[in-house]
Each structure stands twice: as C-alpha cells, then as structure tokens.
Structure 1
Amino acid sequence: MRKLHAVLTSLLLISGSALAQIHDNQKGEVDVYFVRHGQTIFNQYDRVQGWSDTPLTTEGTEVARAFGVGSRAIDFTQYYSSDLGRQRETLALIMQAHHSKQMPTELEDLREVFFGGFEGLSNETMNSAAGQALGFHTHDEMTLLRQQGKMPLTQLADAIHKADEKQDAETALQVRNRMQRALHYMVANALVHHDRNILAVSSGMSIGIMISDMTDSPLKNKGMGNAAVVKIEYRDGQYNVKNIGDMHFVNDGMKVIKNDRQ
C-alpha cells in the first residue's frame, strides 16, 4: 500500500502532459483501452451532453454489448468509468459480456467535457456559437473542418468556453489535465498490481482532448463512434497512442451475436 501511495503521490507532481515520463521511469507494460459510451437519447436527438446525462438507447445497449463480445479475447483486470450513468451502463454491459464479477472503479475525471450553459441544447446551437467565437461566418465551415480532422478539439473546447454566457464550460486545459490525471492514476495502479489490460469507459470529446498532445495523428480531432476505442500503450515511462476511433471490436462482436441468433 505504501508503494502505491508513493507512486500516486509522484504522479500528482507531474505536469499536465501525458508525454511527461512517470516518476523514475516506472518499469512495466500496461495497455489502457479507452471506450466511448454507447448511443444515448441525447445522442439520438443531437443534443449537447456533457455532464448532463441520458440513458442508452436500444442501439446504444446493442453496441456496448457488441464491444464486450468482440473484446472477450482481452483479459481486462481493471475496469473504470466516471459516475455518469451512460458510462456506467456501457461498462456494465461490457463486463456482463466478459462474465466479469469484478468491482468497477469510478473516477469523476473520466467525465465528458462540461459544456456549461449549452448543456441540453441542440448541438447546432452550441457549434454555431463556437464557430462565431472562432470567426467563422457559417456553421458549415466548422463542420467541414471537423469532418476533415482539421479542427483541433482543444480549439473547439476553448471556443465553446468563450461562447458560453455562463462562462462555466470547461477549457481544453482543464479537460486535458483531469483526463491525463485519470490515465496516470490507472497506469500507476496497474503497475503496482501487475495488471496488463485496463478498460476505461469515457466520452468522445474528453478522450480526444486527453490525447491532444500525445499524438500527431489527425484522427484525434475526428468524432468517435459509439463504443469506439483509443488504445494507449504504456512502456517503461512512455505513452504511445494507438488505434484512434477503432470500431473492430464492435464489428467483430456484431458478427458473433448475429451468428448466435441464427
């Protein structure tokens, strides 16, 4: 226990960037699979959903279950989510597919971005306001850049913060720091307990902002599908981002489920 406390204490002193090495180059290998939650009612209605929360749709439960089935070959020894219901629900379905009876851990740091006064409004309303803050004349300009992966999520988050009349929306730095803090914690815990594969259910924009300074891939700025994965490999003090927006676990799981029903 003292060893874990010492490692975690050292991690709290690390800068906000996950590119920084873990204190004393902690030896070990850990793979962290960040999964976006399944589709929710607000997703379906194209509403802003940060810290506000709605349950999974039927499609959302199916895709979460498919991820669980498609990833059974991976021996996850630790499971994490935030305290948001959609993340909890997604994680429960995945663990059910893995026949896991472990107790999952909740970390508030894994929440989606808090969008302040835009919470619950249409995404078009928020994006239009953010676009104006960035100097765009039409909503389509920013949408096109996002589709092309040319609109940094950090820039978008800061524009939303600027456009929020309540001034409560999180900045990109706030989101990145807390998400990377969660990453550091999970890795430190895994190193102490000799865990290799970790599953963390979070949300699309917060995951993208987390890896904003960890990779040069333009995929980090594109939207993630529901139950898509970003894999982060930890090797002796270094992080490496892999498979951004990977849907192959879901696709494989869908095939298995379809065959089982026939």
Structure 2
Amino acid sequence: MTEPKKVTLYFVRHGETQFNVERRMQGFCDSPLTEKGIAQAKAVGRGLSDIEFKAAYASESQRVVDTANHALGVRAIPLSTDARLKEMNFGVLESLLFTDINAQYGILLETLFSLKDLHLSAPEGESYVQLFSRTNVAIKEIIKKHEKEGGNILVFSHGVTIGNYLMQLMKINKYLHHDNCSVSVVSYLDGNFEVERLADTSFREQGTSYN
C-alpha cells in the first residue's frame, strides 16, 4: 500500500476590492478588484513563482477567481472553483457600509466579532461554526485528492474564511487577520497538521520588489 505523502496548502486571500476601499461588509456579495488589488495578486504570484504547485483551488466569488488568475499568470496550474471556499455569509449586513452597520447593528457587530460564541451569526447569515464546517469539508477533500502524490497546493479564498479555518484548526480563540494577498501555509501528513506561516505578506512584498 502506498504511503501518503505530505500535502502543503498555501492559503491566499484575494486582493483589495472596491468594497474594501469603501469599507463595506463583503461576504457572499462581491465587488471587483481595484488596480491595487490586481497589482497585489500579480505580486504574490511572482513571490510564489519559485515554488512548484500541483493544483490551485479558488472560491467561486469573482474577486477570488480574478486574484487566482492574476497570481497564476501564464503558469500551467489547473484551477478549480469551489463554493465552499466562499467568504462567511453576513446575511442582512452584506454590502452595508461599516459606519451604517455600527449605527444600526453596533451591539450585534461587536458581539459577533468578539468570538465569545462561535455559534452566533448575523440575521440570515452563518456562524463561525457553520463556516468552518463547510471550509473543513472542502479542505479535507483537497487533501485526500492529493495525498497519494503529495506536493504544494494553492487555495485562494477570503480573510474571514481563512482566518476562521486556521483559528478553529489550531484551537485558539483569537481571530487571525489576513491582509490582502497574504499567505498562510499549512502542511498535512498522516492525520497531522502543521502551521508553517500565518498571514505572511513576505511573498507579496517580494513579488512587488520584482516589478
């Protein structure tokens, strides 16, 4: 029987978007990458160019698909999309300005992001537990698909989705903020996870210096 090999996942948050600039809540809703966001995606791609990747996966949200395409450039790496890698669903808060959310739902927002109860959700939205559940299933399937041959895999997703997955995977009660096009690296072998990098911007910064 063939022994499983190490799979190393490179989680990349999407580049800056129009809603990021406007300070709007952006989960299931979408907005295009800004020029800065496109530059960030290309830069992180250059920063990762010395690493061989077997495959790439991306959230179905267009901002993430565009980030993946800009980062991959001309590299012949197969890209698959998966709805389970989408951002947290913020329900009634989607696309609202943070200033308006604070005015109308200030206590809700403060409670939701306090992380004291991972079962909390915005009205018509999903909880951190629900978000982790769908993300975890997707990641397990990716690992299972690649563990026979092992190698490096790119996973393009969202700030809260990646941060929440790592927070619950590592069993810590602190949210890990991920800057646009930052990279977190997690390796998996024979049932064991090892976190090698967290919200690392050095790949993006290195790629920027190439330009």
- The TM-score normalised by the length of structure 1 is 0.73
Q: Does 1:171 align with 2:118?
A: no
Whose strand fraction is larger, Structure 1's or Structure 2's? Answer: 2
CA gap 1:127/1:239 in 2 versus in 1, 3 angstroms: farther
> 1:90: how far off?
0.2
Question: Which residue identity lines up with residue 187 of structure 2 in the other structure?
Answer: E
CA gap 1:180/1:128 in 2 versus in 1, 3 angstroms: farther
Q: Distance in 2 between matches of 1:134 and 1:200?
A: 28
Counterpart residue number, 2:5 = 28
Counterpart residue number, 1:107 = 82
> 1:135: how far off?
7.4
Gaps of 5+ in 2: none
Q: Distance in 1 between matches of 2:8 and 2:109?
A: 36
Question: Which residue identity lines up with residue 124 of structure 2 in the other structure?
Answer: D
CA gap 1:129/1:170 in 2 versus in 1, 3 angstroms: farther
Whose helix fraction is larger, Structure 1's or Structure 2's? Answer: 1
Counterpart residue number, 1:260 = none
- The TM-score normalised by the length of structure 2 is 0.90
Question: Which residue identity lines up with residue 33 of structure 2 in the other structure?
Answer: L
Task: Show CA shifts across 1:144-180 (max 9, x none).
Answer: xx7xxxx43x74x654x2xx4xx31111111001111
CA gap 1:128/1:109 in 2 versus in 1, 3 angstroms: farther
Counterpart residue number, 1:243 = 197
> 1:230: how far off?
1.2
- Alignment size in residue pairs: 209
CA gap 1:129/1:189 in 2 versus in 1, 3 angstroms: farther
Q: Is the 8 A contact 1:214 1:241 kept in 2?
A: no
Task: Give secondary structure in 1 for the equivalent of 2:41.
Answer: helix
Counterpart residue number, 1:190 = 146
CA gap 1:122/1:236 in 2 versus in 1, 3 angstroms: same
Question: Please, which of 158, 161, 170 is the counterpart of residue 203 of structure 1?
Answer: 158
Find runs of 4+ consecutive structure 1 residues off by over 3 angstroms: 124-131, 133-136
Q: Is the 8 A contact 1:78 1:195 kept in 2?
A: no
